[in-house]
Chain A
């Protein structure tokens, strides 16, 4: 019975393999065809563009001509009026001069600021965590902090203090204006302040309540932020803030967070902020934003399911393309030829309807081109993937496997990424990396960083099974996940190896110590 099942599975997997190879061949053919079409279309678009630009030039010329005529007319009118208002002009001139001096001042000012900032940087490098370098920025954004930092008041207080202290020397700097002397004093003052801030910060445990102190110390051993509640709160808020804030402020905000002193670095999960930043970036890179819930929701009966991922990678967009109807390209070619012949460039004024025609045709063609190009790039990307020696993993592309384990839902999308979701929050366990151990393991790496630990990663062990099904998600070492994926794709090889192992173990079972005495 067992042998039969395995044989069936073997056949199934072979069928799949054949299918995969067929699809791959089709896609490869499509790709090369698309590349040809792209070449032709590119040429057409170039021509249309050229023509369009010529038309535009002509139109521009026409316009300039018109303008000039109108201007001449106007100037004639103004000349008549000018003689009446000579005196007013002088006053205007003076004003302009004054403005010039002012801007010169400004430039000196700002260059000084730069110098100071350099010193600050070196100070902060020595004495403090990175990112302590821009107190001004900190002051500006302290408002944002309050939004982000939620539960632990003490920490907030601490931050606020740091901000205050680091702001004050800065303003002193400014008031000490520009002499060389003033400069030195300013810097020294700043250095003092920095030390002081450092000390204050290191002693700021004093301000913690006994309970918080307990948590703080505990968190060293556990590597966890013991205040779970708070962590979640912070995280949520953080996401919101991200959405509201423009990119650059966001960066500065990160810097500010990194500036806490050692004690707090451990306590208050600073790196989290970096993480989130990173994760957002990655999300963009991978075309995958977990928050946006890219997965198509389906009815999941079992705990483990698989489905096509609804990722907008251009692969499934049947709408475009092109391949089905070969005549479209010829059509366009024809149209373009007609247009190019029809339009008389030197006709003035430009024939409005002809120009519109060219524009429309240009726009349509280039849209088509970019669609083809995106299809090419996604196909290339797909075909560059390693689908295994027999292309047996071809069908994994664009699929996701999902399983529920306790409160978490795990989503594994081969060639894309894997995540762990709890309610609305998702943790990225890793991005697709590669196969390992001769296609017995799928590795997802560079997931979200663990506090005090490694970047998360997931290894998916593959084993032969009737259906694609994830089971046994596990975290044997902290933040290193392990899952088991049953798949028909593996059945043939697996069976062979099992037999081999059996043979070997039979050989091994010879008595070992029979008479070494």
Chain B
């Protein structure tokens, strides 16, 4: 990490200014409060007439949406003729969401807490109200008819809005950093304000940072002074494992959680550079401001270089509801194809067709399944994307077809920098059509990246996105086949000779908006354009798969992201968990870290541990830098091959469960991998725990993050038992166990009261397992009951949107297991069906001595015996098993223990 290459807050004038403000500095008050077009609107005026404060009034509008969402916007008044329109981020808020607006009709006014002025109150839900306090300006959400608050803005009076204005003659607006000069033609235009979260013990979210899951205070009397959390998409070389520094993506969404078990969330839709301070207790003790509420709260300070105030308040009150509310604004995670949820093999670079063939063959030879083989930048002809190196990859189609014959897929990389080479068709076309981002002088911006001198398509422009998407057609992308999918890297965008390794802030996009106003959303648009291109390639029949490094709020709609260029060390294995948890909490369910670590050579133990943990990442891919040694799973001796094979097998075994969870995320926004407190909201011991996580509601996983570990302290939440996934042994919940650790696995437990669907046979790839029979693992709770779900569809097309799928709910109670249909009746032409049967039902924690079951409605019998917990390995522990019930997954049935 090259610290000096990046600006810190002190070197960033808007951040420095905002941080130096004192509580109560804001002198704005609201006037002309009214209801108009279903919104609460007001004008904000300043009491001071110094040039620091807005000269012209600002426009405030507050709208209310279904399910407890409040939106607050503050912008310049267009009637006062500001020199320029400020950028509002389009294409992130779902059109659907806008239709959920509740048109406000009535405005209630009150005098609260002996204020001199009034407060205006509007309806939010049956339980919550939104309040606009006129003077001093404050906006908050409270429980109906009480003084108990949920979220508030400007309670500490730190709000500041730098209005656009004409430059005075004596002013110098330029900013210099290292060798770069930012012309800043429009001058200062930053915005900052404080947000308070009530009944809150911790705040989470605002990825992407390599740091703890529960965000640490960055300012305060007992806090070691630190940089604020920075949101600025950057390509950081060898990032360090514990820093508030900004990485590849930005999601300005923060979630709070506390002892009450309640959760709330705050989202600022703004794509300029943002910096966020989390204040420690007593940070404003000297200011004399005391909030009327006695509730425990966490204050935060939000600062952005440009844009407008466009904020969303989510009332929760449960963690899952907050995520649901947030994804109802920014979109649900897309449903991946089945293959994408399996194991991916990547390296910079598999060098040629022969290398690809050999790696592929070795997986078969070593009995290790994998689904996708990846090609990095070297597969292209001189880093011209959409081309192939003719010497190394003379027969790309044949190569892909060979993989496809085994049910495997290929992914190639396509980055946004286009080589400035007159003979490259893509560059020629982009130049002729004027599709490139412009520099401050209006010429095509020319930056340096992999191919050397490069330009960047202006992805903010919808026409250019369409043009870009067309490049993925089989005609345009010569050598591509239907089994080829795409990887978007470097889309922050990364510019090797740009300021902070990115594009200059005064570069110009569509509508003459400056790069500074929309920097964080560039990668999002690029991801979107690529994913849309893949959909178009197959006329909307095939679900796209696009992995992106940069992301923004809403990226979950377009595909997976990964945590970028990590390093092969134990700390980075450890930090991958909070990073992935944070992404999941902020909507991006489909994420993972490079297994093994991108930079450097992992020692064998670390690699094995990484596979064991990575098998539970939503996105499970091994990747390595080209300077590193080869590290395919079979290169570390027989024993380690076996360990890695076992880790990958665990993933393949659990694929039906994972796929079901991806569908859950796709319908509710609730992530595949969850923090413990999302499942156990009132278990305080889980709030700071970021070494363990839940996969769905049923599996607890904790990595091993140290060398030669003999023991691991594992806190299992809740009151119920947990069953060891390897041995079936029951362990009590609610306490910290000192577990013995072997090299064979990391701690993983199934929660009592859950049912997990599995497929225990291993083949070359997930797509070859489609017709395999299922095993149900029923982990009974203290009342001998359990529940679980199974979702199945064709794994590929969009037919599931028309109901072409199987969705079952399994309920075990009172000695019988029932399969209930959950799927809506199909409205489409094609009905999805499956002949798959259930070959085993394992009962964990079953008490009773019965020897047989009867199966309704077919009126058959099956036996209860002891059998292995897992099919492979033979000598495993014995568990109570209903053998060969033979029931179909697509049908209703009941298995009764006699």
Contacts and interface: CB of A to CB of B under 8 A. Distances in A.
Contact of B501 (A217, A223, A476, A513): A217
A220 B450 CA distance: 11
A86 B553 CA distance: 106
B447 interface: yes
Contact of B448 (A206, A214, A450, A453): A214
Contacts of B565: 221
Contact of A221 (B237, B497, B761, B874): B237
B629 interface: yes
A517 B627 contact: no
B814 interface: no
B868 interface: yes
* Most chain B beta carbons < 10 A, residue from A203, A215, A221, A475: A221
Interface in B668-691: none
Contacts of B867: 516-517
Given A202-B4, A513-B761, A218 B450 contact: yes
B448 A517 contact: no
* Most chain B beta carbons < 10 A, residue from A452, A478, A480: A478
A476 B355 contact: yes
Given A215-B496, A223-B627, A208 B840 contact: no
A213 B237 CA distance: 14
A215 B495 CA distance: 10
A452 B626 CA distance: 11
B249 to A, nearest CB: 19
Given A205-B178, A478-B626, A517 B884 contact: yes
Contacts of A477: 628-630
Given A215-B448, A477-B628, A513 B871 contact: yes
A94 interface: no
B839 interface: yes
A516 B883 CA distance: 10
Given A213-B448, A214-B497, A516-B868, 13 more contacts: A202-B4, A206-B179, A215-B448, A215-B496, A216-B496, A217-B496, A217-B501, A220-B237, A221-B625, A476-B355, A476-B630, A477-B628, A480-B629
A92 interface: no
A222 interface: yes
A211 interface: yes
Interface in B812-870: 839-840, 867-868
A421 B839 CA distance: 61
B496 A214 contact: yes
A203 B867 CA distance: 68
A214 B449 contact: yes
B466 interface: no
Contacts of B628: 477-478
Contacts of A450: 627
B448 A222 contact: no
Interface in B866-893: 867-868, 871-872, 874, 883-884
Interface residues of B, number: 34
A210 interface: yes
Contacts of A208: 179
A218 B452 CA distance: 9
7 contacts: A212-B497, A217-B496, A221-B565, A223-B627, A453-B627, A476-B355, A476-B630
Contacts of A475: 351
Contact of B497 (A217, A220, A453): A217
Nearest to A476: B630
Nearest to A217: B496
* Most chain A beta carbons < 10 A, residue from B178, B565, B626, B884: B626
B248 to A, nearest CB: 14
A213 B178 CA distance: 12
A454 B630 CA distance: 13
Interface in B233-274: 237
A213 B840 contact: no
Contact of B179 (A202, A205, A513, A517): A205
Nearest to B453: A211
Interface string A476-487: 111010000000
B132 to A, nearest CB: 48
Contacts of A513: 761, 871-872
Interface in B473-531: 495-497, 501
* Most chain A beta carbons < 10 A, residue from B450, B565, B627, B630: B627
Contacts of A216: 496
B883 A517 contact: yes
B497 A213 contact: yes
Nearest to A452: B627
A475 B352 CA distance: 11
Given A216-B496, A222-B626, A478-B628, A517 B453 contact: no
Interface in B734-777: 761
8 shortest A-B CB distances, which residue pairs?
A214-B448, A214-B497, A217-B496, A213-B497, A214-B496, A206-B179, A477-B630, A210-B497
A208 B448 CA distance: 13
Contact of B626 (A206, A223, A406, A516): A223
Contact of B839 (A206, A217, A517): A517
Contacts of A452: 627
Contacts of A221: 237, 565, 625
Nearest to B872: A513
A134 B884 CA distance: 82
B883 A210 contact: no
Given A513-B761, A517-B867, A210 B626 contact: no
Contacts of B874: 516
A420 to B, nearest CB: 16
B641 to A, nearest CB: 16
Contacts of A205: 178-179
A454 B625 CA distance: 14
B883 A218 contact: no
Nearest to B632: A476
Contacts of B351: 475
Contacts of A476: 355, 630
Interface in B331-357: 351, 355
A211 B448 contact: yes
Contacts of B355: 476
Contacts of A210: 448, 497
A480 B631 CA distance: 13
A476 B868 CA distance: 41
Contacts of A211: 448, 453, 497
Nearest to A211: B448
B622 to A, nearest CB: 14
A480 B495 CA distance: 31
A482 to B, nearest CB: 10
Nearest to B495: A214
A220 B496 CA distance: 10
Contacts of B625: 221
Nearest to A513: B871
B450 A206 contact: no
B227 to A, nearest CB: 20
Contacts of B391: 406
Contacts of B630: 476-477, 480
Nearest to B4: A202
Interface in B1-25: 4
A216 B884 CA distance: 64
Interface in B449-467: 449-450, 452-453
Contacts of B448: 210-211, 213-215, 217-218
Interface string B169-186: 000000000110000000
A222 B179 CA distance: 23
Contacts of A517: 839-840, 867, 871, 883-884
Contact of B496 (A206, A207, A218, A478): A218
A517 B760 CA distance: 11
Contacts of A217: 237, 448, 496-497, 501
A214 B180 CA distance: 13
A327 to B, nearest CB: 61
A477 B495 CA distance: 27
